[in-house]
Amino acid sequence: MRLLRTLVISDVHSNLDALDAVLADAETRDAGGRVFCLGDIVGYNAQPREVIARLRELGAICVAGNHDLAAAGLIGVEEFNAVAAEAALWSGEQLGDDERAYLAGLPLTQVVDDATLVHGSLRDPVWEYLLDRFAAEAQFALQQTRVGFVGHSHIPFAAVDTPGGGTPRPMLDGTRLALSRDRAIVNPGSVGQPRDGDPRASYAVYDDGTQTITWHRVAYDVAAAQRRVREAGLPEVLALRLARGR
Ligand code: ZN
C-alpha cells in the first residue's frame, strides 16, 4: 500500500499568511503531498484570490463551505451575520470569472478512499455546526467511510463511534488519535480564523501508514494578516479577532 500523510485543512478564509505557515510546518512532517480542504476557502480575510491560487497549485481536494457558495453567488448572505455578509460580498467582488467558477464547481461532499469530506455535516453540508453527541450520531448514521472530516465550527475535535461515546472532544496541539475499527469524525480546526482562544493556525495530519490523525498548531504573522484586512477596508473586528483566536 502506498503510504500517505495527508494534510487536512479547513476554514482557511482568505488568510494566506496562515495557510503558508501551515504548508511550511506540514512539510517538516512529510505531509502535504495530498491535501484535503474542508471548505470556507474564502471569507473574512483579505486574500481570496491568492488562497484559491495556492490551493489549486497544490491540487487540493476541496469541498464547498457557506462562504465559498456566497462569494460565488450561489447562495445569498441572509443567513450570515452583518460582518460575515460584508466580507462575503467583498470576497465575491475580488474574484475573476475563473475563480468564481472554481468555487461554484466545488462539490458539497467527497469520498476519497476511506474518508468523507464535508464542510458542515452530511445531513446539512453547508450549515450544520457539528459540535455535540447528537449531531455526531446523526453523522455516523450517514457516514459510509471510516473517517469523516468536517469543518465549519473552527473547533479542532475528534468524535469516535463507540457505544455511549461519540461526544466530540477538543484536540490540542500535538494530540493524536489512533484510528481503530470504530469510525471517527474529525475537525482539523481553522487555518485562517481559529476560534478556540488559541490564535495559532490549526491543521491535522492523516497518516495512512500509522493509521493516526495528529493535530498541530502553528504561529504565523498575525500582524501581516491584520494589516491586509485593514488595507482592504474590511471590518476592524475581523482584524482584531485574529489576535484573540476568537
Ligand atoms: Zn468558516
User: What tens digit of pLDDT does each residue of 178-229 get?
Assistant: 998 899 999 999 999 999 999 999 999 999 889 999 999 999 999 999 999 9
In the reported structure, the alpha carbon of residue 5 is separated from the centroid of ligand 1 by a whole-number distance in angstroms of 24
| Beta strands 157-160 and 201-207, pairing class | unpaired
Question: Across all residues in the chain, what is the average pLDDT?
Answer: 96
d(CA 39, CA 185): 16
Domains of the chain, with CATH numbers? Answer: 5-244 (3.60.21.10)
Alpha-carbon torsion (199, 242, 221, 215), positive or negative: positive
Q: Give residues whose Cβ lies within 5 Å of ion ligand 1.
A: 11, 40
In the reported structure, the alpha carbon of residue 240 is separated from the centroid of ligand 1 by a whole-number distance in angstroms of 17
In the reported structure, the alpha carbon of residue 220 is separated from the centroid of ligand 1 by a whole-number distance in angstroms of 18
In the reported structure, the alpha carbon of residue 213 is separated from the centroid of ligand 1 by a whole-number distance in angstroms of 21
1 pLDDT tier (thresholds 50, 70, 90): very low
In the reported structure, the alpha carbon of residue 138 is separated from the centroid of ligand 1 by a whole-number distance in angstroms of 21
2 pLDDT tier (thresholds 50, 70, 90): low
Q: How far is CA 111 from CA 146, 158, 170, in A?
A: 11, 19, 24
Q: How far is CA 129 from CA 42, 119, 136, 140, 158, in A?
A: 18, 9, 10, 15, 14
